[in-house]
């Protein structure tokens, strides 16, 4: 009986994700870590936006909000984020320095404006590059050209949360094409897996 109930829950999750990708997005993985992963149409600057929509039955909205609001600890949740430090708070937004690390390329450094707001019932934590803010990049590292995106979640009626993650990212500098393609697929998969694992602790 328990097995049948779990199967029904899994089928409901899969059904709820089947229409998740917006128009123009191509699904790359239909179910990984409770998520549907997709890539959008190429943007004007050549960046391909990434998107994940997930249902995590074991995670509470309070756990999600607690982790996302603690900007200084984002490097505890994602393997690719090796430093996340709030530089200052300006009204409802925070200026955050981050250092990103991926195999095969030099570390990337960026200043981000991060905000939290309610959008259509979701708690949304978004960021964009803080253009115009001075940054001194560590010798050997590269300034990230672009990073725009958000993590958002809301409680599911049946328990757990529904999560949506979007990211438009240009690492800057010279990056082999195969690494860019890896990041758009396996890298996105790792991002959602990292967060789910961290929230489940």
Tokens 């560590």 -> residue: 138
Domain around 184: 2-200
81 pLDDT higher than 90: yes
What per-residue confidence (pLDDT) applies to 31?
83
Give 121-140 as a 3 state SS string.
CEEEEEEEECCCCCCCCCCC
What per-residue confidence (pLDDT) applies to 15?
47
Domain CATH number, residue 116: 3.30.530.20
What per-residue confidence (pLDDT) applies to 184?
80
13 pLDDT higher than 70: no
Question: How much of the chain exceeds pLDDT 90, in percent?
Answer: 77
Backbone angles phi, psi at 57, to 5 degrees: -65, -25
Query: What is the average pLDDT across 168-197?
Result: 88
109 pLDDT higher than 70: yes
Query: What is the average pLDDT across 183-193?
Result: 88
Query: What is the average pLDDT across 145-170?
Result: 96
* Burial classification of residue 133, based on how many CB atoms lie within 10 Å of its CB (0-12 exposed, 13-18 middle, 19 or more buried): middle
Query: What is the average pLDDT across 130-154?
Result: 96
Into how many domains does the chain fold?
Answer: 1
3 pLDDT higher than 90: no
33 pLDDT higher than 70: yes
65 pLDDT higher than 90: yes
19 pLDDT higher than 60: no
What per-residue confidence (pLDDT) applies to 20?
60
More confident call, 93 vs 6: 93
Averaged pLDDT of the chain: 90
- Cα–Cα distance between 171 and 167 in angstroms, integer? 12
Please state whether beta strands 108-119 and 142-143 pair in parallel, antiparallel, or not at all (unpaired): parallel
């Amino acid at each position: 009986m328990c097995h049948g109930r779990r199967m029904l829950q899994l089928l409901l999750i899969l059904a709820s994700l089947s229409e998740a990708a917006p128009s123009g997005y191509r699904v790359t993985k239909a179910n990984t870590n409770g998520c549907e992963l997709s890539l959008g149409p190429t943007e004007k600057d050549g960046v391909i936006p990434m998107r994940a929509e997930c249902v995590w039955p074991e995670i509470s909205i309070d756990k999600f909000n607690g982790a996302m609001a603690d900007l200084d600890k984002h490097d505890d949740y994602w393997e690719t984020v090796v430093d996340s430090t709030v530089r200052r708070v300006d009204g409802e937004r925070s200026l955050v320095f981050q250092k990103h690390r991926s195999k095969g390329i030099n570390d990337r450094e960026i200043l981000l404006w991060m905000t939290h707001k309610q959008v259509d019932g979701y708690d949304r934590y978004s960021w964009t590059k803080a253009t115009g803010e001075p940054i001194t990049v560590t010798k050997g590292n590269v300034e990230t050209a672009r990073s725009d995106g958000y993590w958002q979640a809301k409680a599911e009626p049946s328990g757990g949360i529904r999560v949506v993650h979007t990211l438009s990212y240009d690492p800057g500098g010279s990056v082999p094409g195969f690494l860019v393609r890896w990041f758009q697929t396996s890298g996105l998969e790792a991002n959602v897996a990292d967060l789910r694992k961290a929230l489940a602790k």
